[in-house]
Chains A and B, each alone.
Chain A
Amino acid sequence: MRKNSWWLWTAALAAYAFLYLPLLIVVLYSFNDSRLNAEWVGFTLHWYRELIHDTDMLVAARNSLLIAASASLIATVLGTLAGLAIHRYKLRILPVLAVTPVAMPEILLSVSLLLFFNLVFRPWLGLELGMWSVIVAHVTFCIGFVAIVVRVSLLGMDESVFEAARDLGATPWQTFRLVTFPLILPAVMAGALMAFALSLDDFVITFFTAGVGVSTLPLEIYSMIKIAVTPEVNAISTLLMLLTLGMIVLASRIHGKAFGSSGP
């Protein structure tokens, strides 16, 4: 028993180190007084000062957050509905419809979306590509993820709970609002966070569907690679990590269950 737990600890520590050490190094080098991400020279806040004055980077960060927030919000609503529908109606076509954008290669999805926008939205609605097109594209591939998570959480649930609610006179809407939704809330939250993260770091789909002048952080950073990435990128990554961490803490405050022991 004792030996077992020793192994468990080592394995756990190794796994966490593997997951978090690279992040730690990114953070560490954002304070490094050298343009090179190669060796430690000294402590500085120079890169954060640079960042505050770098309008391109800040606009890209703002766009990324706006897109991720709107896309994850819309995808969560639609994805939850899709998850419920897949669970309720045993139509074989439903899961296929929801999951296809997830399984399809990104490059295919992005080029077809771009063609679609150019063929339908531009001539018929007079809409040029812009931030909206990125949001629509992100919603498209995020819905599937949310739907899957919600569906899985519903699978593990006892149907009799919902039947009991209806027996006691609850309307379908009341059943959903007072019973189903609270039960699947952890899954909805998890899906929303996943959609947010996916949208935030998507490159391929954003690259093709972004309109003129709409840059996001991944696009911005990628275009810097040729000239060597400066610690400014580390600085903005650090800030984003803080933000994500903050969101997770906030989400767990609002609904501890989502991050505590799972299940109803």
Chain B
Amino acid sequence: MRHLTLLLFWMSAPLHAADVLHLYNWNNYISDETVTRFEHACQCRLVQDYYSDNEEMLAKLAAGASGYDLIVPTGNAVESLIKSGQLRPLDKRQLRHLENIDPAYLDTAFDPGNRYSVPYAYTITLIGYNEQKMRGLGIPTDSWAAIFEPKYLKKLKGRVTVLDSQRELMAAALKYLGYSANDTDEAHWRQARDLIIRAKPYWAAFNASSYIKELTVGNIWLAHGYSNDMFQAQQDARHAKRPFSIAYATPKEGAVLALDSMVLHKSGPRPDLAHRFIDFMLEGRNSAELTNLIGSGNPNRDAMQYIDPAIAANKAVFPTPDIQRRLEMLKDLDRTQRRVLSRMWTEIKVH
């Protein structure tokens, strides 16, 4: 028994250290080198907890969890955190590298004037595809038509997946119809619903997680999904030496952009370290490491010089100004709108 106690002490010892910064982050959303370099620079330890979903993180905080210095939520989650008064305003005097951020990603609708948030990285919801198959079948890969038009889908029957997400799929349909992704006109929603119902028989599945694998293995030729995931699928296919390659593109009609930002939680005991971390991540070299790791979009202008040229040249991750104008961030719906959307989603699912 005494040995056991000693063992417990020994095992729990590294849990206590003087300067610790607690980061509540997405899994695999910072490179190990960056962490090591930051810990060296600040002479502190960076401890991460992970979430896989904004709602999951919001639920945990709403239930009263505390002690997180920094969180990296997506746009609309930032908004709900601000509204519920859970964030600490930034002290911009401590953020010397803030000017590195492309103004296109500042002063967003969810945090006007960036009182609370600093952009970290973004993903675009787009289409990923099997290059050889799509070329062979003569299907355009620069438009949502590939996902929604029966004349193309006929050749792809059972080889297409779309995201299992009400907002994302509706947004894609709305964009294809020429509306805003945040359009809340019910007539437009009905049009989008009908478009989805018409295309649905050709789809293999509503899929939110395994399309990376399905694309890489070759079961699926076209998938509606997130740019980071498509990057992963592309890398996996290359490493597995598949006889085909995976590519991805932002449809010309426009798409949804999800911007993740760093924010300070009120309960965090170390705002000083948190500001240091934000400023550290604003340096191009550190920010670029994340993009090189997972292929995420980077709002940092100074980072471009450190980004792998192949990624930097990828129009799907770094869109042309023309496409960039057609990217939209999703805004939260109100109760009534949510109910209407849920009803339509049910209609889609049972059809």
Chain A residues with a Cβ under 8 A of chain B: 34-39, 41, 56, 62, 66, 70, 111, 114-115, 118, 128-129, 131, 207-208, 210-215, 219-220, 222-228
Chain B interface category by residue count: 35 or more
Q: Indicate if B107 sits at the interface (CB-CB under 8 A).
A: no
Q: Are A38 and B213 in contact (CB under 8 A)?
A: yes
Do A114 and B63 form a contact, CB below 8 Å, given A66-B8, A212-B68, A227-B27?
yes
Could you jot down 6 A-B contacts, CB within 8 Å? A34-B240, A38-B216, A70-B8, A212-B47, A212-B68, A224-B50
Q: Are B12 and A66 in contact (CB under 8 A)?
A: yes
Task: Pick from A35, A115, A211, A214: contact of B239, CB below 8 A.
Answer: A35
* Chain B proximity of A145: nearest CB distance (Å): 23
Do A207 and B60 form a contact, CB below 8 Å, given A222-B52, A226-B26, A227-B28?
yes
Q: Are B63 and A115 in contact (CB under 8 A)?
A: yes
Q: Are A223 and B50 in contact (CB under 8 A)?
A: yes
- In the complex the two chains form, what is the Cα distance from A264 to B259 in whole Å? 64
For A212, the chain B residues whose CB sits under 8 A away are 22, 24, 47, 49, 65-68
Task: Pick from B26, B49, B52, B60: contact of A208, CB below 8 A.
Answer: B60
Cβ-closest chain B residue relative to A230:
B28
Do A62 and B11 form a contact, CB below 8 Å, given A36-B240, A219-B50, A226-B27?
yes
- In the complex the two chains form, what is the Cα distance from A131 to B13 in whole Å? 13
For A34, the chain B residues whose CB sits under 8 A away are 239-240
Query: Digit string of B10-54 for contact with A (CB within 8 Å is 1, else 0)?
Result: 011001000010101011100000000000000000011111110
Q: Are B209 and A128 in contact (CB under 8 A)?
A: no
Q: Secondary structure at chain A's binding surface: helix, strand, loop or mixed?
A: helix
For residues 290 through 344 of chain B, which have their beta carbon under 8 Å from a beta carbon of chain A? 294
Give me 4 other A-B pairs in contact (C-beta within 8 A), A128-B67, A213-B15, A225-B209 excluded: A131-B15, A208-B60, A223-B52, A225-B52
- In the complex the two chains form, what is the Cα distance from A208 to B52 in whole Å? 14
- In the complex the two chains form, what is the Cα distance from A123 to B216 in whole Å? 52
Q: Indicate if B279 sits at the interface (CB-CB under 8 A).
A: no
Cβ-closest chain B residue relative to A128:
B67
Q: Are B67 and A129 in contact (CB under 8 A)?
A: yes
Q: Are B209 and A228 in contact (CB under 8 A)?
A: yes
Do A36 and B67 form a contact, CB below 8 Å, given A56-B48, A222-B52?
no
Task: Pick from A38, A129, A213: contact of B217, CB below 8 A.
Answer: A38
For A207, the chain B residues whose CB sits under 8 A away are 56, 60
Q: Which of A36, A37, A131 has the most CB of B within 10 A?
A: A36
Q: Indicate if B86 sits at the interface (CB-CB under 8 A).
A: no
Do A224 and B240 form a contact, CB below 8 Å, given A37-B213, A115-B64?
no
Q: Which of B50, B229, B294 has the most CB of A within 10 A?
A: B50
Do A228 and B232 form a contact, CB below 8 Å, given A34-B240, A38-B216, A223-B27?
yes
For B213, the chain A residues whose CB sits under 8 A away are 36-38, 228
Task: Pick from B24, B209, B216, B240: contact of A226, CB below 8 A.
Answer: B209
For B8, the chain A residues whose CB sits under 8 A away are 66, 70
Q: Are A224 and B65 in contact (CB under 8 A)?
A: no
For A214, the chain B residues whose CB sits under 8 A away are 49
Task: Pick from B27, B217, B232, B294: contact of A39, CB below 8 A.
Answer: B217
- In the complex the two chains form, what is the Cα distance from A41 to B65 in whole Å? 43
For A228, the chain B residues whose CB sits under 8 A away are 209-210, 212-213, 229, 232
- In the complex the two chains form, what is the Cα distance from A182 to B200 in whole Å? 64
Cβ-closest chain B residue relative to A62:
B11
Q: Indicate if B142 sits at the interface (CB-CB under 8 A).
A: no
Q: Are A224 and B68 in contact (CB under 8 A)?
A: no
For A128, the chain B residues whose CB sits under 8 A away are 66-67
Do A213 and B20 form a contact, CB below 8 Å, given A208-B63, A223-B51, A228-B212?
yes
* Chain B proximity of A263: nearest CB distance (Å): 31
Cβ-closest chain B residue relative to A37:
B213
Closest 6 CB pairs of A and B: A223-B50, A212-B67, A223-B27, A213-B47, A118-B64, A226-B52
For B68, the chain A residues whose CB sits under 8 A away are 212
* Chain A proximity of B96: nearest CB distance (Å): 28
Do A36 and B15 form a contact, CB below 8 Å, given A128-B66, A220-B50, A224-B27?
no
Do A211 and B51 form a contact, CB below 8 Å, given A35-B239, A224-B28?
no
For B26, the chain A residues whose CB sits under 8 A away are 223, 226
Q: Indicate if B236 sits at the interface (CB-CB under 8 A).
A: yes
Cβ-closest chain A residue relative to B20:
A213
* Chain B proximity of A123: nearest CB distance (Å): 12
* Chain B proximity of A196: nearest CB distance (Å): 15
For B216, the chain A residues whose CB sits under 8 A away are 36, 38
Query: Digit string of B93-135 for contact with A (CB within 8 Å is 1, else 0)?
Result: 0000000000000000000000000000000000000000000
Task: Pick from B67, B209, B217: contact of A211, CB below 8 A.
Answer: B67
- In the complex the two chains form, what is the Cα distance from A129 to B66 in whole Å? 8
- In the complex the two chains form, what is the Cα distance from A242 to B67 in whole Å? 36
Q: Are B67 and A35 in contact (CB under 8 A)?
A: no
Q: Are B22 and A213 in contact (CB under 8 A)?
A: yes
Q: Are A35 and B236 in contact (CB under 8 A)?
A: yes
* Chain A proximity of B260: nearest CB distance (Å): 13
- In the complex the two chains form, what is the Cα distance from A222 to B56 in whole Å? 11
Query: Digit string of B212-228 for contact with A (CB within 8 Å is 1, else 0)?
Result: 11001100000000001
For B212, the chain A residues whose CB sits under 8 A away are 228
* Chain A proximity of B22: nearest CB distance (Å): 5
- In the complex the two chains form, what is the Cα distance from A134 to B213 in whole Å? 34
For B294, the chain A residues whose CB sits under 8 A away are 227
- In the complex the two chains form, what is the Cα distance from A39 to B340 in whole Å? 42
Q: Are A66 and B11 in contact (CB under 8 A)?
A: yes
